[in-house]
Structure 1
Amino acid sequence: MCQVVRARLRATRRDTGMVTSEYAMGIVAAVAFAVVLYKVLTSGAVSAELQSIVQQALNARM
């Protein structure tokens, strides 16, 4: 019985870094997505379109 507990403890110790590495990969993916989104939103065509939409909304009459 004691050997089974020791084996399980060794197995859990080997996997302790897995969660941290998964969080790190998630953060890297989120930052990469944010950079791409930033580049798209600040590009000339998208920026002009967004300004046009805001201008139309401000000039709209009810």
Structure 2
Amino acid sequence: MYQLVRARLRALVCGMRATRRDAGMVTSEYAMGIVAAVAFAVVLYKVVTSGPVDAALTRIVEQALDGRM
């Protein structure tokens, strides 16, 4: 019984160490994530500042400030 518990405990601890070594992102993954986030922000900015969207947002804000919907 003692050997079985000890073997399972050892397997659990070794498994945790392996998981700990592989946890998280490496620097290249952080860089790719940042590049993707910046690209998405640029596309979103371009869409929001385009003519039709800008006019619609302005109209919505003006209606909200006037108190009518």
TM-score by length of 1: 0.68
The number of residues matched between the two structures is 45
Identity of aligned residues (%): 78
Note the residue ranges of structure 2 that are not aligned, 5 or more in a row: 1-20
Larger RCO, structure (CA 8 Å, separation 6 or more): 1
For residue 45 of structure 1, report the CA deviation from its aligned partner: 0.3
1:1-58 C-alpha deviation (Å, 9 max, x unpaired): xxxxxxxxxxx7xxxxx70000000000000000000000000000000000000001
Following TM superposition, the consecutive aligned residue runs of length 4 or more in structure 1 with deviations greater than 6 angstroms are none
Note the residue ranges of structure 1 that are not aligned, 5 or more in a row: 1-11, 13-17
Instruction: Kindly name which structure, 1 or 2, has the bigger radius of gyration based on alpha carbons.
Output: 2
> Which of the residues 44, 50, 54 maps onto 1:43?
50
